[in-house]
């Protein structure tokens, strides 16, 4: 029993309020659509269970988020693996040394 405003979350009828039902609808829509496979780059990745994503094209299983295959924390970890933040620690140490030098001269 879906409604125009909240679609699949219409099963809750008037319970829980409109805000929560629209959030549930948005989460369910993102988890049910097909996503891009990280291996074959085709839009064939589907959710099998919470956190388990399977590509229908190349049959690869990927661990990801419960509702999205890529979480924000996972994106940062991948960037660290690729070396995007390799010199970040050196930059932070240089900034602290510069601040300490300014504090000593003042």
pLDDT tens digits in sequence order for the chain, 106 residues long:
567 777 888 888 889 998 999 999 999 999 999 999 989 999 999 999 999 999 999 999 999 999 999 898 888 888 888 877 777 778 888 888 888 888 888 6
Query: Do 42 and 65 reside in the same domain of the chain?
Result: yes
Tell me what pLDDT residue 49 has. 94
CA pair distance 74, 88, nearest whole angstrom = 18
Structure tokens at 91: 């930059």
Domain that holds residue 104: 71-106
In the chain, the number of structural domains is 3
pTM higher than 0.75 for the full model? no
Query: Do 86 and 103 reside in the same domain of the chain?
Result: yes
Query: Do 7 and 20 reside in the same domain of the chain?
Result: yes
Q: Which residues of 22-31 are buried (b: 16+ CB within 10 A; e: fewer)?
A: eebbeeeeeb
Query: Do 65 and 40 reside in the same domain of the chain?
Result: yes
């Amino acid at each position: 029993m879906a409604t125009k405003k909240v679609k699949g979350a219409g099963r809750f009828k008037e319970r829980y309020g409109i805000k929560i039902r629209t959030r549930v609808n948005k989460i369910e829509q993102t988890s049910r659509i097909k996503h891009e496979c990280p291996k074959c780059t085709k839009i064939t990745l589907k959710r099998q269970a919470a956190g388990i994503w399977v590509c229908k094209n190349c049959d690869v299983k990927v661990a990801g988020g419960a509702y999205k295959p890529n979480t924000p924390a996972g994106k940062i970890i991948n960037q660290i693996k690729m070396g995007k933040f390799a010199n970040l620690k050196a930059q932070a140490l240089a900034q602290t040394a510069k601040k300490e030098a300014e504090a000593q001269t003042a």
